[in-house]
Amino acid sequence: VTDYWCELAWLGGDDVAAGAVVTVDGDHITAVEVDIASPPAGATRLVGVTLPGIANAHSHAFQRALRATTHSGPDSFWTWRTQMYDLAARLEPDTYRALARATFAEMVCAGITTVGEFHYLHHAPDGTPYADPNVMASALTDAAADAGVRLTLLDTCYLRGGVDTPVAGAQQRFADADADAWVARVDALADGPMRRVGAAIHSVRAVDPASAARVATWAHARGAPLHAHVSEQPAENAASVAAYGRTPTAVLADAGALDGCFTAVHAIHLDDDDVARLGGAGSTCCICPTTERDLADGVAPAARLRAAGAALALGSDSHAVIDPLEEARAVELDERLLSGVRGHHHAADLLRAATAAGQRALGWSDGGVLQPGAPADLVTIALDTVRLAGTPRAHLLDGVVFAASGCDVRHVVVAGRVVVRDGRHVTIDVPRALGDAIAAVRP
Active site residue 254: no
Catalytic residue, chosen from 274, 297, 317, 377, is: 317
Catalytic residue, chosen from 60, 266, 319, 411, is: 266
* Residue 229 β-bridge partners: 265
Q: Is 378 left (phi over 0), alpha (psi -120 to 50) or beta?
A: beta
Task: Say if CB 238 and CB 162 are below 8 A apart.
Answer: no
Active site residue 266: yes
Instruction: Indicate the burial class of 381 (C-beta count within 10 angstroms; 0-12, 13-18, 19 or more).
Output: buried
CA 89 to chain centre: 23
Task: Say if CB 62 and CB 416 are below 8 A apart.
Answer: no
Amino acid identity, position 177: A
Residue 281 and residue 297: Cα distance in Å, rounded? 25
Residue 29 and residue 360: Cα distance in Å, rounded? 17
Annotated catalytic residues are 266, 317
